[in-house]
A and B are shown apart, each in its own frame.
Chain A
């Protein structure tokens, strides 16, 4: 992510330190992770110490300090999905991709995350890949779904 774009985002928020979280969210949304250079630039421009930025970037779930894979898998672990067998879906996906929640595989193909309720409880258990919802998942079906991603 180039410096100019980061500056544009900071300017949009008038360089206001209380907008720190909003700025980080925008960078995360565009770039899918927060590179160190971006954080340093924000620290410099907002005059917020790096420690506080690191605190925020690690406190909130939306931020990632490492690059993400081409496809983002979100397994819903909300209560409704849980009672309908979400943990079995998660186990299967972990087995198939070889990664644990929070990790990205070496080919940068998949990143796996668990989320707490996507609010599609009628479709549970739910797996979301790149924003597309796959509902009523069972372990056997997850393999079929994952095959479609390259």
Chain B
């Protein structure tokens, strides 16, 4: 491929690409994101390739390995175009049938289709499945059509046309103006207006400026940035180049976690291809604008998602934050003006430039424009990535798209915003999702993690979990964070272990206030949020733990015991065989008993006890009944007694 030297050449190349592509040619796309890899997507791919060859279809059928489709619950996913037939949970053994039946004979295989859990109806097309139907995928939608390792796939969908437009028809000020007008706000956590950040950098003194992609996605339970970078890396690159043009920067960085090997690989390939085509390097598209990108791998530190810490890490040092009396937009990497935006924010930019701020602002609420990708995880029927316009309610996301809580359990809370966010209870399910709305409710948008919790989740334990995470990740530079969070964790751990005492809640509140006010960076300042929000909405659970030594969710190990109900046990022996601690006493026709001294409370017996017996129960806040005497343990079966 030779370099593309002007917008006209780009359009000519795009036309020739499209003319070579027959929209009616059968194309199999297979989701190959990290989550699907874990479900054997790689083996499925090998099997498809082998089978196409075996059945002599190599030239006739196109096979494309795309990035994440978002419906991780049902992965690996296959979509067959142009018919848009969608198959789920494909295993290598299914492939020969798919090729011989669906590809050759055009017959649909019912067993691989999506079944609507309500109506039990089989659904053939992606666009009719509730999970997809109720979304608005502006940023994430292209993932399903693009092989991330092929720039031509991105170009075929109109890729880099925003760059061509900006470089040939717009001044940097106009690009900046459009982004400002769009009201785009940072998708990584704080929700800072992107245009304002860019303007600050543009107006800052200095010839050398930097633009940076923050792909140090550290919130546990959030993986939308990884999926974008893995699945559509060019959209992020194009956004970054546009930002660089607007700000007046010639050097960009992508700071990506080394825990995301596929994202690192795909983004490196994308940069190389963009350089070959002339979208990066000197004199981009003949405009005289130069720009290069360097990839920097993070070495595993949550705090490096914070802007000043990330920039310190880029300099090759330990990623500790610094006070930000002067914004990093003015003094960032090597004290030079540096614009840092999150992956999803950058991926929004080409859309805004292409379609205009007015188009963008039709989505969302007054102060939160556009869409947001959420990762819907935890106790939810449809785990996956969902993109919705800002302003939809939590209920719509959790029930209409997410399919509600599995196993007939009751919804208890949704945790948003990662370790800096908070838990929102069922009363707030009708809350509209937006930056300010979530903050007002005591949580935050964060990067878009949404962890659903049901009645079995203990809210005190959730607070303890996040503080444990943050204690581990605190860089240790400032005292309120390093010591304050540690003390909070200690107190919370005591409470979950039944060692809580009167006054603990007040102590925690004091600690929370100091850490929240006096910490150096956002990590420490927001660290009390998981505690404060759970206390606000679930105070009764804290009190039950402290006063009654009872865990209402029956989750805290130290406060529960497993007990076999002698009236229900049918001596099937399953629990006894599966117990890893050999803590269950019993035999043939003998009612089983848990040896409380040996029990490690792993919960295996509770899980394996057949639901028709449901003899194993959890007890909290009251003493375990004494085991029934040995002579009374023999079961007399009715059928045999007759």
A residues neighboring B (CB under 8 Å): 16-22, 24-25, 52, 55-56, 59-63, 77-80, 82-85, 87-88, 91-92, 95-96, 115-124, 126, 133, 135, 138-140, 143
Contacts and interface: CB of A to CB of B under 8 A. Distances in A.
A62 B318 contact: no
Contacts of B297: 21-22, 25
Interface in B60-90: 72-73, 75
Contact of B377 (A17, A80, A133): A80
Given A116-B220, A121-B223, A126-B38, A79 B299 contact: no
B603 A139 contact: yes
A143 B577 CA distance: 13
B319 interface: yes
A119 B221 CA distance: 7
Contacts of A79: 220-221, 377-378, 415, 418, 449, 451, 465-466
B580 A122 contact: no
A57 B608 CA distance: 44
B453 A135 contact: no
A80 B451 contact: yes
B221 A80 contact: yes
Contacts of B35: 119-123
Interface in B199-239: 218-223, 226
Nearest to A128: B38
Nearest to A16: B316
B221 A18 contact: no
Interface string B352-391: 0000000000000000000000010111000110000000
B607 interface: yes
11 contacts: A21-B316, A56-B317, A60-B298, A60-B301, A80-B378, A83-B453, A118-B259, A119-B226, A122-B377, A138-B604, A138-B607
A48 B316 CA distance: 11
Contacts of A95: 580, 600
A138 B606 CA distance: 11
A84 B39 CA distance: 18
Contacts of A21: 296-297, 299, 313, 316
Nearest to A87: B557
Interface of B: 34-35, 37-39, 72-73, 75, 218-223, 226, 258-260, 296-302, 313-319, 375, 377-379, 383-384, 415, 418, 449, 451, 453, 457, 462, 465-466, 469, 475, 557, 578, 580, 600, 602-604, 607-608
Contact of A121 (B221, B301, B580): B221
Contacts of A24: 299
Contacts, number: 140
A59 B451 contact: no
A27 to B, nearest CB: 12
A120 B38 contact: yes
Nearest to A123: B38
Contact of A78 (B221, B300, B314): B221
Contact of A61 (B34, B219, B300, B578): B300
B603 A85 contact: yes
A18 B578 CA distance: 53
A60 B299 contact: yes
A122 B316 contact: no
A121 B580 CA distance: 26
B220 A77 contact: yes
Contact of A140 (B317, B375, B578): B578
Contacts of A55: 318
Contacts of A92: 580, 602
A52 B317 contact: yes
A18 B315 contact: yes
A135 B375 CA distance: 18
Nearest to A143: B580
Residue among A20, A60, A117 having the largest count of chain B Cβ atoms under 10 Å: A117
Contacts of A22: 296-297
A7 to B, nearest CB: 18
Contacts of B317: 52, 56
A121 B300 contact: no
Residue among A85, A92, A116 having the largest count of chain B Cβ atoms under 10 Å: A116
Nearest to B227: A119
B220 A122 contact: no
A88 B602 contact: yes
A133 B378 CA distance: 18
B319 A59 contact: yes
B300 A117 contact: no
Given A115-B259, A135-B39, A138-B607, A17 B318 contact: no
Contacts of A25: 258, 297, 299
Contact of B608 (A62, A116, A140): A140
